[in-house]
Amino acid sequence: MSLFEVRVQAGPFEIGAEQARLSALTPEVGAVVSFTGQVRDAPLLLEHYPGMAEREMEALLADARARWPLIGAIIVHRHGPLAVGEPIVLVLTASSHRRAAFEACEFLMDWLKTRAPFWKKDALGWVDARDSDEQAAARWD
């Protein structure tokens, strides 16, 4: 059994519940890696492109599966108003071995940052895209 899933939602997520779904998939799961991004410093509003957001995230999962032997992966990205400390995004990867789980998780985050149609706005206005994110994603080319 395997599980690959993407979701865009306004509400929060529970890392424990999401991770449990991957841990229980098969006796071959030996490593689960997670990344949680959370709102730092100031509140944010997250706008997204419904439909395309899910589509890009699905495409990223397909790309990761082609590169690493994953047993499962989940991406949850929130939209709407978010307070400081609130989680924005969760990426979970499960594999037999830790290297694959680590690399796939980092790959998915780097590409989410540069491909998935989400835009952050804070009190100063729309947040500018960063060159460092482009460079991080380019590592995987």
Partner 1 sequence: MSVRLVYFAWVRERIGLSGEEYPLTQSLPAGELAAKLRALSAGHAEALTDLSRLRLALNQQQVGWDALVSPGDELALFPPVTGG
88-107 in b/e form (b: 16+ CB < 10 A) is: bbbbbbbbeeeebbbbbbbb
Cβ pair 118, 75 in contact under 8 A: no
Q: Which is nearer to a second copy, 24 or 138 (CB)?
A: 24
Q: Is 49 among the residues that bind partner 1 (CB under 8 A)?
A: yes
Among 62, 80, 99, 122, binds a second copy (CB under 8 A): 99
Nearest C-alpha neighbor of 34 from the set 78, 94, 77: 94
Q: What 8-state DSSP symbol labels residue 63? A: H
Q: Choose among partner 1, a second copy, none what residue 28 binds, the Cβ cut-off being 5 to 8 Å by kind.
A: a second copy
Give the residue with the Cβ less far from partner 1, 10 or 129.
Answer: 129
Residue ranges in contact with a second copy by CB under 8 A: 14-17, 19, 23-24, 27-41, 84-85, 87, 96, 98-99, 101-102, 105-106, 109, 136
